[in-house]
């Protein structure tokens, strides 16, 4: 499954993104598993809200961090997340 740019992205049902105080990080939770996320992965997953498409995600994060040129990194991460079945897309 690879990224379709004109479809919104959201977490697969049953997956949950959660801030963990004890570990000082976001984790992605799913049946019998968890993934400890670095900051950039967590930032991207937080805006995979079922409404945002690729361009919205890039724009949101570039605005938030007052920077440009994030698109390639974001695409790479989204492809990994799609491949692993953490997120999915809908028209």
Partner 1 sequence: MAGSLKAPSPPRWLLAELTYACPLQCPYCSNPLDYANFSDELNTEEWKRVLKQSRDMGAVQLGFSGGEPLVRKDLVELVDYSHELGYYTNLITSGYNMDEAKIIELKEAGLDHIQISLQASSQELNDFIAGAESFEHKKVVAKLIKKHGYPMVLCVVLHRQNIHQMKDILEMAIELGADFVELANTQYYGWAHHNRDQLMPTQEQLNTAEAIANEYQESQKGKMKIYYVVPDFFEGRPKACMNGWGTTFLTIAPDGLALPCHSARQLPNFDCPSVRDHSISEIWNESKAFNYFRGDDWMKEPCRSCPDKDKDFGGCHCQAFLLTGDAANADPVCNLSPQHHLVTDAIDQAAATSSEKPLVFRNSKNSKTF
Least distance from partner 1 to the Cβ atom of residue 16, Å: 6
Residue count, binding to partner 1 (CB under 8 A): 16
CB 37 within 8 A of CB 26: yes
**Burial zone of 81 (CB within 10 Å; 0-12 exposed, 13-18 middle, 19+ buried):** buried
Stretch that binds partner 1, among 17-25, 40-48, 54-62, 68-76 (CB under 8 A): 17-25
Residues 6+ apart with CB under 8 A from 33: none
Pick 36 or 73: Cβ nearer partner 1? 36
Q: Could you tell me if 86 and 49 are in contact, meaning their C-beta atoms sit under 8 angstroms apart?
A: no
Q: Which stretch binds partner 1 (CB under 8 A): 31-39, 40-48, 54-62, 69-77?
A: 31-39
Residues that bind partner 1 (CB under 8 A): 1, 13-14, 16, 18, 20, 22-23, 27, 29-34, 85
């Amino acid at each position: 499954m690879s990224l379709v740019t004109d479809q919104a992205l959201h977490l697969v049902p049953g997956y949950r993104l959660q801030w963990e105080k004890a570990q000082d990080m976001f984790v992605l939770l799913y049946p019998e598993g968890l993934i400890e996320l670095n900051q950039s992965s967590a930032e991207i997953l937080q805006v995979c809200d079922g409404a945002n498409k690729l361009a919205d995600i890039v724009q949101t994060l570039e605005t938030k961090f007052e920077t440009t040129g994030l698109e390639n990194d974001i695409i790479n991460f989204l492809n990994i997340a799609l491949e692993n079945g953490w997120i999915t897309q809908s028209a």
